[in-house]
Structure 1
Amino acid sequence: MGGIVAVTGRLPAEKMIQVLESMTHRGPDEGDDVVLGAFHLGHRRLSIMGVHNGKQPIANDDRTKWIVIDGVIYNYQALKRELPDTTKYITESDSEVPLKLYEQEGPSAVKRLNGAFAFVIVDSEQKTFMAARDTLGSKPLYYGENKDEEVVFASELKTLYLVTTDVHEFPPGHYYTPEEGFVEYHRIRQPGENHIFPASELPQMMKGIRQSLNKAVEKMMMADVEVGVLLSGGLDSSLIAMLAQERRKTKKPLKSFCVGSADSEDVRRAREVAEEIGTEHYEYIYTEQELIDQLPEVIYHLESFDASLVRSAIPTYFVSKLAAKHVKVILSGEGADELYSGYDYLKGIKDTHKLNEELLRIINTLHNINSQRTDRMSMAHSLELRTPFLDLDMITYAMKIPAELKLKDDQIEKWVLRQAYGGDLADNIIWRDKAEFSEGSGALDILETYAEKQYGEQEVEEANQENEWVRSKQELLYYQIFKRYFPNRSILSAVGHWATS
């Protein structure tokens, strides 16, 4: 994990220092850079795997090929077993495996990686390189050209802007080489009609859901450091917390974390769940003023002004800050709504094909919406956040479940997921109504009240002429803060939006 930068040229030493410092929050443990003739690589590391032996950039045996990577490769041990026995490793980290695969198979080897990642590999001998990003875009990557027409890659927009004003988001599920350009190597797609499970096979589907989610949680607990869980008290986070508690590596209880305002629903519900499953629970109660004071910091790290994203980012920011005091990796219940139709506006879609179309649209846009929020808010506090519901095998299985079992009687969202775990947790947890994270944590009311006092309707109308996504006083509040940190309008093309914001 960490922050990466790669240039098809060379940055002045002072500039590289500035660039790496801008990503210290992504990797506070160690950092370094290397000049390789036609390339310059830099990295800041958050050590999760191979804690004492995984510094980057990492080189191959003859030091002609190098990698900088942000993320985790969950199947790295299996891939190691498939590589030749003569393969030599200089680290104990999963981060070295993509480099070894590249040496054996070239850029297409990225198809074999299972994880959340963004990386750049350079070949100084052949004067070429490749860049790649995981299927869902769980880890960020941006690129652009500087005034010398050199290509620059970076983990965050704020870092890229230190080198160029030409900024673009690297597309998820793609790799890039100068020879091939952008190549889409994987995308989540609709299952064929003959692959949709019959509704009559409900018991088998419930078993399949449990097996898929159990494996995903176990996979994402892979770490050489302690792993905790975000616990809002809702269905999704409660299931992940329960499964993680059962699969923890030590006899000590799993640590769970929740934040909210003094009278927030999330805080009360999370306490109930923590007591039932036996986690070591931590909570933080933020004040109204504290929430308002931290808003600029949240937007700076989020690199977005989208209203829905900012609202949900605030509690994510605070809970990540709390968790980072105790663990370096955290599991989250993010993604269940996208797989099991957890949003209200989906309740009228009864056709499985049409429902899957919309669910896949959401999943394939997570990279600059919810995945951006979870990555930026956790990494703002040097914390790695993982999402078991968004495991690719879990997604593939969930897409085969018919709409009628996800939306029972058009009323109960995520019905089949609730049914699959009925009896594992108390009914008031399994059947709890869904609430927006910002609503359950108490942030929504505070933000609406504050924004209402800051602007008049005329100011909103004028701002809307400048940017169509500014349609309310709350959105104007976020946009004004955003522009202070990111005044160049070239950034707007990299800002994702919820269609229902």
Structure 2
Amino acid sequence: MCGIAGAYRTTDTVRIEQMLDRLTHRGPDGQGVVATDTGVLGHTRLAIIDLEGGRQPMEHDGALICFNGEIYNYRILRDRYLRDQTLETDSDTEVLLRLYRTLGPGFVNLLEGMFAFAILDGDDLFLARDPIGIKPLYLAQRDHTLLFASEIKALALQADQVTTFPPGTWYHSRFGSHAYYEFAQGWPRNGVFETVEQAKNAIRAVLRSAVHKRLLADVPVGVSLSGGLDSSIIALLACAELDHIETFAVGMEGSEDLEAARRMAQYLGTRHYEYVYTRAEMEAVLPDVIYYLESADPALVRSAVPNYFLARLASERVKVILTGEGADELYAGYDYMRALTTPEDLHRELEIAIRELHRTNLQRADRMFMAFGVEGRVPFLDVESIALALSLPPEWKLAAPGEPTKMLLREAFASDLPESIVQRPKQKFSAGAGSMYELARVAEERFDDQTFARERQRLMQRWNYRLPNKEALYYLDTLRAVLPERLIMPEMGMSRSL
């Protein structure tokens, strides 16, 4: 996990150094800038694999790469496709570069992991991003130069407009853009599972495999444990793989998450750490939260605040942390989904929610953890896990009146988890942490009705954005202090559940 920045059709290293200055939080373990005849690549490194040999940008046979992310199957790919080559490191970065030179752009289809990377090879530029956009990548154009970076703020001084590089896509300067991944394969396949019990067995197996892959690291690994179903499943499966695991929880005094996380940590026997924060601390850190988040979406900011405290806490002990992101989108965990009463409507909504993750919850998770040099990993969003979940009949995910959402997932792990965890209702991160409405109260005190009405009208006319409440204005006003509106509004994701 790192930060990358680069430019194509220029040799100006000063510009890339300026961009990297805004990404140093993503890579505290090293920094490098290398120019070729056709471009410049820059990199800030968070060392996770091959701590000594994985420095970047990395060169092989005249080609240069900068890479952000992790490739979980890189050793399998190395042994299968590069067995006749002598590699200089044990890093996934070198494997990526050599696979590109050996197999061409199509090698991206072989990768299991989360990634955004750039390769300069002679006159050619190659860019790629992981299937659902766990790792960020943004583009900008300045004169005849193409610029790219891990965060919008790195491009803010370089361009007037920024666009998101699409997930599941690669780009080659000679061949153009190619979408290599599409999770929505139409209506769920009939006959994959004859019974719900078969599906539950498959869910357990695919998640066990997903967690196993994401424990790959040469540094300590922890788990974000809110005491909810999703994070408890990840902690359970990680504990089955490792002798010792560290878990982390945050919340306000008396929050439900803290108590539930303590019970789950005791059940699993983890080394558990927690942090209790106050409303005053929330207000104090909000400018930093929004600076790193690069969004003013109310639901996203609310969950980013506890995520910020969690990342800060975890950074004191680990460099890699597993989270429960994605389970709600795969198994219909949000309360608003209860209103979707037909299988067709529910399945359609799940597809949309998954497709938007790279601009909502995945953006929040990446930015908050990287603000403290921690790599967040998301087992539920393994491509096999996504494929399985979307192949299941959506009627199995419909919540019956009076029962919790995600019953299929709950029942899959009911025999392995405490009853109190299995039956605990879904809560948003900010609600479980006890801080969901605190900043909304601050916003009500800060803005009068006239100011809100004026800004709401202006934003609708300028950006076709309907400002939902004073809380959103509070966050947007804070973000505008560090990024211009022209860079914020076109790329800002909107959470589907407030």
Same fold (TM over 0.5): yes
Q: Which position in structure 1 is the counterpart of 2:284?
A: 293
1:111 maps onto 2:109 in alignment: yes
Which amino acid counterpart does residue 364 of structure 1 have in structure 2?
Answer: R
Contact 2:11/2:37, CA 8 A, preserved across alignment: no
Give the whole-Å Cα distance in 2 for the aligned partners of 1:91 and 1:354: 49
- 1:395-410 aligned at under 5 Å gives the runs 395-410=386-401
Tell me by how many angstroms 1:163 deviates: 2.1
Residue 347 of structure 1: SS of its match in structure 2?
A: helix
Q: Which position in structure 2 is the counterpart of 1:102?
A: 100
Q: Which position in structure 2 is the counterpart of 1:4?
A: 4
Q: Which position in structure 1 is the counterpart of 2:430?
A: 438
Residue 246 of structure 1: SS of its match in structure 2?
A: helix
1:333 maps onto 2:331 in alignment: no
Contact 1:190/1:356, CA 8 A, preserved across alignment: no
Count of residue correspondences: 492
Give the whole-Å Cα distance in 2 for the aligned partners of 1:488 and 1:311: 21
- 1:91-170 aligned at under 5 Å gives the runs 91-124=89-122, 127-146=123-142, 148-170=143-165
Which amino acid counterpart does residue 163 of structure 2 have in structure 1?
Answer: H
- 1:174-189 aligned at under 5 Å gives the runs 174-189=169-184
Q: Which position in structure 2 is the counterpart of 1:476?
A: 473
Give the whole-Å Cα distance in 2 for the aligned partners of 1:26 and 1:305: 21
Tell me by how many angstroms 1:344 deviates: 1.4
- 1:86-485 aligned at under 5 Å gives the runs 86-124=84-122, 127-146=123-142, 148-195=143-190, 197=192, 201-248=195-242, 251=243, 253-410=244-401, 411-467=403-459, 468-485=465-482
Contact 1:190/1:360, CA 8 A, preserved across alignment: no
Give the whole-Å Cα distance in 2 for the aligned partners of 1:448 and 1:261: 16
1:213-265 per-position Cα deviation (integer Å, ceiling 9, x unaligned)? 100010111111110000101111011111111111xx3x2100011111211
1:417-450 per-position Cα deviation (integer Å, ceiling 9, x unaligned)? 1111112111111110011111111121211221
1:473-494 per-position Cα deviation (integer Å, ceiling 9, x unaligned)? 1111001001111124143111
Change (3 A) 1:28 1:194: closer
Give the whole-Å Cα distance in 1 for the aligned partners of 2:192 and 2:449: 51
Percent identity between matched residues is: 41
Give the whole-Å Cα distance in 2 for the aligned partners of 1:490 and 1:192: 37
User: Which stretches in structure 2 are left out of the alignment for 5+ residues?
Assistant: 460-464
1:376-415 per-position Cα deviation (integer Å, ceiling 9, x unaligned)? 0000000000011111101111112223322342443110
- 1:76-87 aligned at under 5 Å gives the runs 76-87=74-85
Give the whole-Å Cα distance in 1 for the aligned partners of 2:479 and 2:222: 31
Higher mean C-alpha displacement, 341-350 vs 10-19 = 10-19
Tell me by how many angstroms 1:326 deviates: 0.2
Give the whole-Å Cα distance in 1 for the aligned partners of 2:394 and 2:98: 42
Contact 1:470/1:479, CA 8 A, preserved across alignment: no
Residue 444 of structure 2: SS of its match in structure 1?
A: helix
Contact 2:69/2:114, CA 8 A, preserved across alignment: yes
Contact 1:196/1:400, CA 8 A, preserved across alignment: no
1:34 maps onto 2:31 in alignment: no
Contact 1:328/1:383, CA 8 A, preserved across alignment: yes
1:182-212 per-position Cα deviation (integer Å, ceiling 9, x unaligned)? 21111111354544545x5122111111101
Give the whole-Å Cα distance in 1 for the aligned partners of 2:77 and 2:94: 11
Which amino acid counterpart does residue 33 of structure 1 have in structure 2?
Answer: V
Q: Which position in structure 2 is the counterpart of 1:44?
A: 44
Q: Give the TM-score normalised by structure 1.
A: 0.95
Give the whole-Å Cα distance in 1 for the aligned partners of 2:43 and 2:157: 15
Q: Which position in structure 1 is the counterpart of 2:462?
A: none
Contact 2:410/2:422, CA 8 A, preserved across alignment: yes
Residue 399 of structure 1: SS of its match in structure 2?
A: helix
Contact 2:133/2:166, CA 8 A, preserved across alignment: yes
Give the whole-Å Cα distance in 1 for the aligned partners of 2:188 and 2:294: 39
